Amino acid sequence: MTGKTLPMSEALETYLREVSLREPGILRRLREETAGLPEAQMQIAPEQGQFLNLLVGLLGAKRIIEVGTFTGYSALWMAQALPEDGRLVACDVSEEWTDIARRYWAEAGVAERIDLRLAPALETLEALLEEERGHYDLAFIDADKANYEAYYEACLKLLDSTGLVVIDNTLWSGRVIDPEADDEDTVAIRQFNDKLHADERVDLSLLPLADGLTLARKR
């Protein structure tokens, strides 16, 4: 197996979580409530949330952008790692989903760190660019795939000189290598991955974590 990524069976994934995951109870409850929704597949894996939390701490991040908030699970992981004067701008269009998020953010005591913007994310990003270009440390993108490239370009401009963009779903359940998969989302992810591979503005790593997590750091 030298030089190869280990296939992740269900049993091995269970073991990984048993020996690595330290998910606080409030996050577990939010994840379990979200699992009951018809759109539950949109939720990130708990090990991804913990990884995002670790990244915030490693970067010493104080200003974060999240594109695609859903029920607030990833935002809560990241907000808990922010200092008290930190700020996370959360972009989403659903009041129903983010009402769940608000409950948990308030209970966790981090609501004041999260600035929820209910509007199409590109509109929010364009508004931020007018005043806060280059002021952010970290961006997390997990939203509609057709707009990934546009979100990425906007986030790069909002990040400081060594800021980090993290993008979810870049392995897309393996459909990216299925020659018969030509739906809009799969094609968008393939094109996005190709773009990042050729993008000399960033240092790049695609991690086989959950559904694929790409890290792109500005040079």
pLDDT digits (tens, 9 = 90+) for 41-86: 999 999 999 999 999 999 999 999 999 999 999 999 999 999 999 9
Residue 91: closest CA among 165, 163, 31, 151: 151
Separation CA 109–CA 202 (nearest Å): 35
C-alpha of 159 from chain center: 15
What is the length of the chain?
219
- Given phi > 0 = left and psi -120 to 50 = alpha, else beta, which region is 171? alpha
Q: What is the pTM of this model?
A: 0.96
At residue 34, does pLDDT exceed 70?
Answer: yes
Name the residue ranges covered by the structural domains of the chain: 10-218
How many C-beta neighbours within 10 Å does residue 94 have? 14
Residue 211 has pLDDT above 60, yes or no: yes
Q: Which residues, 6+ apart, have CB-to-CB distance to 23 below 8 Å?
A: 31, 46, 49, 50
Is pLDDT above 70 for 138? yes
Which fold is adopted by the domain 10-218? Answer: Rossmann fold (3.40.50)
Q: Which of 90, 120, 94, 114 is nearest to 38 (CA)?
A: 94
Separation between Cα atoms, residue 130 and residue 180, nearest integer Å = 42
Q: Tokens 């999260």 — which residue?
A: 114
> 200 pLDDT exceeds 80?
yes
Given a cut of 90, is residue 117 above it in pLDDT? yes
CA distance 147 to 28: 30
**pLDDT at 3 (0 to 100):** 78
Predicted local distance difference test score (pLDDT) of residue 4: 87
Mean predicted lDDT score pLDDT of the chain: 97
Q: What is the percentage of the chain residues whose pLDDT exceeds 90?
A: 96
Neighbour-count burial of 74, counting CB atoms closer than 10 A to its CB (0-12 exposed, 13-18 middle, 19+ buried) = buried
- What does the pLDDT read at residue 1? 47
Q: How do residues 17-31 score in pLDDT, each as one tens digit?
A: 999 999 999 999 999
